[in-house]
Structure 1
């Protein structure tokens, strides 16, 4: 649904609220990658403010606006065309990305969000973008924290770090969020100062079937409290713990030829660091889609406590992995169960066992993948009735296919505060190096986690 628009692009810079422009100027000046920047623009007030703010300080040829049409509403196509018209007036290239897949019966918002980022990843690779910027605001942060706090049993749960300032998607696209310090009303005041009196209003933003809408309505009737953990402090602790766990793995971990990972058990190491390192190894070796739940964390803590001081013998099954105590070492390997087979038609790609991305480069014959090796590594053949055991991960390309190790959740969605640990996993897996975050290299990745949330949502 479109609200009436009055546009004046001749407004003087001095007439604009300076907070948004100062925020974006600081952001853009700290980018280390100078390729064009993508802007996710739905046409709502937040993303429109981001578009006009960046247009005021960045040359038009350095910006590409991307609008995702999820196909969920008849008006979506008209809204995308309206955004395109705004971009044309600003001299900024615009593309509409369409979600073509069928809609799920349940979990529609989550599926739409996943599709949105998948389309942005693809567009970014095709257009050669440095990153994509989104317009998440302080209001979005409060809503997210309120929803996560309602589900959390701990004041130090990872989710209470809130929306990260930067996230790496599918090991390829950095999504940056420079407006997390600003309120929605600040952005709307900026738009009004530019002569823009309207924007797209998405009806789903008032549909109480969705949890975020209900939480937003509750927050409008409550004064935010100063109680509860500081999200910035939680993010900083997560960053430091990830750095310490990465250092432990760099110093004490090696990968066996057939897949298992061995890490020297240091009884003097901090237990939270050892736990974080093992959780990362379990996540990687098991191909996790989600972090360990409370029960899984309790199982791991109990195992570590029971093996302390023991020489051998303890074995634990967790997250599709087996963890064993062998002398001074702990080993982590994929548990031999539920190992699927995969058939890739000519020219097709797929994920095998949630741990390897495989592409069949042949134009003529299918590729069959199984887990017949001792370490549950992929084995390949062109003959469905045979197995090939000649694959080695460091060979890269054999017989017209490629195989790339994945890093569990880190290969899908990686918050910037977990980057040090994921970089270490990539080295251990002999995978491709993770791209550096283009925002923050000049003043330290840790600074990205320090966005201050000055008020807290009520429990």
Structure 2
């Protein structure tokens, strides 16, 4: 239904809180060219004043002809009168995990292009076909407690800096191609989309053969409701001390049969461990078994110690595999996956875990932690000092230290923003930026009106 493409673009523009400049990621494939053309047509309507479009093509430099394709997209944008940038992935490419690396680099370059072109958000051409493939792949990897228990969100915050919007998640690729064909617009087919070495290509072939649409474990509304409840549980039952240790009341600690509490607890543990993802199923089961037993003791999982005592449950980073990090003046680096450290000095600084430290011990004891927990947690606390032994006179050291939230700082699905905000505030951070479109879900995870471009909220979109 070609008419559905234009209708979706119009609905999408109505979702914005106020008109803005949208950067469209255009590869030259049918989905992204269809998105650009549909938005260009919709913005041409008289009631869409105030909106403007810019575009960017990422040339990954991974195959011959990619530069020519990018130039062709630039010509197409010029015909539409849409300002366009080509950003090329320079430098060496990894030999393994190339698609994941390309995805990270693509969003980085798109965010840079948005800043250069003055865009307020990014729109991508992901479709319902992409969504089905994502659901199957995440299900096969057993990503059931975290973001993997759902497919792609229709809104996603990248790098804490810009929102990525996916207006076509409710549309099939065939409809977009019919729309382009009706307009006499051709597109490129990336040969990598037919390479069975890639997981997505294999899944695409399997779905085409089965002709059955996979079902996500959770709908978008269910996911948002779960995130809202997990946020409330975090606010009610978790205290974080000095960003290095968490405390949970004994009566709540073993309540791992509650899926939302389990997710909340594991999310806090992931931050303390400097991890980007929640544990796999086998590890979750091991943690659940230990905590539900209710016996005092300690276990380690994902680099985090689960310290069960009569007074409560305490979580802190295991004092192992803590490497030193040198940070040059004016530079920001991440230490141990847990802390973003900015050097405000004129000389290099070094971040280490020095082991037992009386100052950290006392700070944690003063915060209310038992002495034994404070001593163990302090062994993995960050210590910042001049990198050169002969440097003196740097007291207090000028360094900004911020807790890193690996679960959400790179990619934050819109339906998890309420929970992400709760985690951020727990660790002394500000809330994440709000999206430029009206929220679909309220603070309780209830559907608050719904946006037509997001499709049927009974199915993940």
Q: Give TM-score scaled by structure 1 length.
A: 0.83
SS in structure 2 at match of 1:231: coil
Contact 2:20 2:52 in 1 (8 A): yes
Aligned residues: 424
Q: Which one is further off, 348-357 or 263-272? A: 263-272
Q: 1 CA distance for matches of 2:243 and 2:391?
A: 16
Q: Which residue of 1 aligns with 2:329?
A: 346
Structure 2: 5+ residue stretches without partners: 44-48, 361-377
Contact 2:307 2:313 in 1 (8 A): yes
Q: Are 1:205 and 2:203 counterparts?
A: no
Q: 1 CA distance for matches of 2:20 and 2:93?
A: 34
CA 1:430/1:424 → structure 2, altered by over 3 Å: closer, same or farther? Answer: same
Q: 2 CA distance for matches of 1:141 and 1:368?
A: 44
Q: Are 1:378 and 2:378 counterparts?
A: no
Contact 1:356 1:405 in 2 (8 A): yes
Shift of residue 232, structure 1, vs aligned partner: 7.4
The partner residue of 1:103 within 89, 93, 96 is 93
Q: Deviation digits for residues 377-410 of structure 1, max 9, x if unmatched?
A: 322222433899x99xxxxxx7554322111221
Q: 2 CA distance for matches of 1:407 and 1:142?
A: 28
CA 1:258/1:237 → structure 2, altered by over 3 Å: closer, same or farther? Answer: closer
Q: Which residue of 2 aligns with 1:5?
A: none
Structure 1: 5+ residue stretches without partners: 1-15, 392-397
CA 1:232/1:172 → structure 2, altered by over 3 Å: closer, same or farther? Answer: farther
The partner residue of 2:77 within 80, 87, 95 is 87
Q: Which residue of 2 aligns with 1:365?
A: 347
Q: 2 CA distance for matches of 1:144 and 1:76?
A: 25
SS in structure 2 at match of 1:78: helix
Q: Which residue of 2 aligns with 1:177?
A: 166
The partner residue of 1:68 within 39, 58, 66 is 58
Q: Are 1:427 and 2:425 counterparts?
A: yes
Q: Which residue of 2 aligns with 1:121?
A: 111
Q: Which residue of 1 aligns with 2:20?
A: 35
Q: 1 CA distance for matches of 2:457 and 2:178?
A: 21
Q: 2 CA distance for matches of 1:455 and 1:325?
A: 39
Q: Which residue of 1 aligns with 2:372?
A: none
SS in structure 2 at match of 1:80: helix
Contact 2:19 2:50 in 1 (8 A): no
Shift of residue 361, structure 1, vs aligned partner: 4.1
Q: Which residue of 1 aligns with 2:126?
A: 136
Shift of residue 171, structure 1, vs aligned partner: 1.9
CA 1:386/1:328 → structure 2, altered by over 3 Å: closer, same or farther? Answer: farther
Q: Give TM-score scaled by structure 2 length.
A: 0.83
Q: Are 1:291 and 2:273 counterparts?
A: no
Contact 2:25 2:57 in 1 (8 A): yes
